[in-house]
Amino acid sequence: MRKMWRVAAYEYRRLVFRKSFAFALLSVPVMLALMVGLGWLIDSMENNSAPVGYVDHAGLLADPITVPHAEGSAFGPGNPDPVALIPFETEDAAHAALLSEDIQAYYVVTENYFATNRVELVYVEPPGENATDQFWDFMQINRLADLPPEVARRVVAGSYLIVRWPEDMPGGGREFDERMILGNFIPAFAGAAFIMLLLMLSGYLMSAVAEEKENRTMEIVVTSISPNQLMAGKVLGISAVALTQIVAWSVLIGLAIEVGGRQLGVGVLQGLSLNPQLITQLAIVGVPTFVTFAALMVALSATVAGAHEAQQFTGLFALPMWAPYWLAVVIIQDANGPLATGLSFFPLTALSTFSLRIVFTPVPFWQVAAIALVQVVCAAGAIWLAARAFRLGMLRYGQRLRWRELFATGRRRAVRAA
Domain ranges within the chain, ordered by starting residue: 2-41+177-411, 49-157
Q: What are phi and psi of 56, to 5 degrees?
A: -105, 100
Three-state DSSP class for residue 143: helix
At residue 53, the pLDDT reads: 93
Starting from the edge strand earliest in sequence, which strands make up the sheet with 85-88, in order? 85-88, 52-56, 105-109, 119-123
Does residue 75 have a pLDDT over 50?
no
Is pLDDT larger for residue 291 or for residue 204? Answer: 291
At residue 332, the pLDDT reads: 81
Burial environment of residue 363 by CB neighbours within 10 A (0 to 12, 13 to 18, 19 or more): buried
- Share above pLDDT 90 across residues of the chain, in percent, rounded to a whole number: 10
Tell me the pLDDT tens digit for each residue of 305-318: 555 565 666 667 77
Does residue 213 have a pLDDT over 70?
no
With bands split at pLDDT 50, 70 and 90, how would you rate the model's confidence at 394? low
Tell me the pLDDT tens digit for each residue of 287-300: 888 888 888 887 77
Average pLDDT for 393-406: 60
CA distance 394 to 302: 7
Q: What are phi and psi of 228, to 5 degrees?
A: -65, -45
Report yes or no: 234 and 11 within 8 Å, Cβ to Cβ.
Answer: yes
- Share above pLDDT 70 across residues of the chain, in percent, rounded to a whole number: 67
Least Cα distance to 64 among 174, 156, 129 occurs for 156
CA distances from 4 to 11, 85, 180, 199 (A): 11, 71, 45, 24
Return mean pLDDT, the chain: 75
At residue 74, the pLDDT reads: 36
Lowest mean pLDDT among 14-18, 53-57, 66-70, 318-322: 66-70
Instruction: Please check whether the domain covering 49-157 is classified as CATH 3.40.190.
Output: yes
Is pLDDT larger for residue 183 or for residue 154? Answer: 154
Lowest mean pLDDT among 88-97, 106-115, 155-164, 283-292: 155-164
Does residue 413 have a pLDDT over 70?
no
Average pLDDT for 199-228: 67
- DSSP assignment of 20-40 equals HHHHHHHHHHHHHHHHHHHHH
